[in-house]
Structure 1
Amino acid sequence: MVNPGKRMHVLQALLALRHGPGAAILPPEITRIHMDFALKWNDGHLGPRKFWKTCLPRLKFWNPAIPMLVNRSDQQAGPATMSIYFRQTSLDPTSPSSSSTSSSTSPSSVAAAARNMLPLAQQPKSSTENEHPAPPPEAGERVVTIDMKNVHSDAIFSEFMAKTGATPVHPSPDEEVEMRQVEEREERATVDRAIVKKYIDDKRREERMLALARHEAEAIKLANQ
Structure 2
Amino acid sequence: MVNPGKRMNILQALLAIRHGPGAAILPPDITRIHLDFAKRWNDGHLGPRKFWKVCLPRLKYWNPAVPMLVNRTLDQTAPAQMSIYFRQTALLSDTPSALSTKISALPLAQQPHSSIMNEHPAPEPEEDERVVKIEMKGLHSDQILADFLSKTGAIVISPTPDELMEMRQVEDRAERGAVDRAIVKKYIDEKRREERMLALARQEAEAIKLANQ
Taking the TM superposition and a 5 Å limit, the aligned residue runs for 1:152-171 are: 152-171=140-159
RMSD of aligned alpha carbons? 1.5
Q: Which runs of 5+ in 2 are unaligned?
A: none
Superposed displacement of residue 221, structure 1: 1.1
Contact kept? 2:29, 2:92, Cα under 8 Å = no
Taking the TM superposition and a 5 Å limit, the aligned residue runs for 1:179-190 are: 179-190=167-178
Quote the Cα distance in structure 1 between the aligned partners of 2:176 and 2:94. 56
Counterpart of 2:84, as a letter, is I
Counterpart of 2:63, as a letter, is N
Quote the Cα distance in structure 1 between the aligned partners of 2:24 and 2:17. 11
| Equivalent in the alignment of 1:20 | 20
| Equivalent in the alignment of 1:35 | 35
Superposed displacement of residue 110, structure 1: 1.7
3-state SS in 2 of match to 1:181: helix
3-state SS in 2 of match to 1:146: strand
3-state SS in 2 of match to 1:209: helix
Taking the TM superposition and a 5 Å limit, the aligned residue runs for 1:1-225 are: 1-90=1-90, 102-104=91-93, 109-225=97-213
| Equivalent in the alignment of 1:95 | none
Quote the Cα distance in structure 1 between the aligned partners of 2:145 and 2:187. 44
Quote the Cα distance in structure 2 between the aligned partners of 1:128 and 1:183. 36
Quote the Cα distance in structure 1 between the aligned partners of 2:31 and 2:21. 21
Q: Which runs of 5+ in 1 are unaligned?
A: 91-101
Quote the Cα distance in structure 2 between the aligned partners of 1:3 and 1:103. 48
3-state SS in 2 of match to 1:104: coil
Instruction: Report the more deviating stretch, 6-15 or 206-215.
Output: 206-215
Quote the Cα distance in structure 1 between the aligned partners of 2:77 and 2:106. 34
Superposed displacement of residue 137, structure 1: 0.8
Instruction: Report the more deviating stretch, 115-124 or 81-90.
Output: 115-124
Quote the Cα distance in structure 2 between the aligned partners of 1:206 and 1:125. 58
Same amino acid, percent of matched pairs: 72
Superposed displacement of residue 103, structure 1: 2.8
Superposed displacement of residue 119, structure 1: 4.4
Q: Aligned pairs, how many? A: 213
Alignment CA distance shift 1:37-1:175 (3 Å): same
Quote the Cα distance in structure 2 between the aligned partners of 1:114 and 1:77. 33
Alignment CA distance shift 1:75-1:172 (3 Å): same
The Cα offsets for residues 128-170 of structure 1, whole Å up to 9 and x where unpaired, read as 1111111111111111111111110001000000000000111
Q: Scaled by the length of structure 2, what TM-score is found?
A: 0.95
The Cα offsets for residues 17-43 of structure 1, whole Å up to 9 and x where unpaired, read as 000000000001100000011111111
Contact kept? 2:85, 2:132, Cα under 8 Å = yes
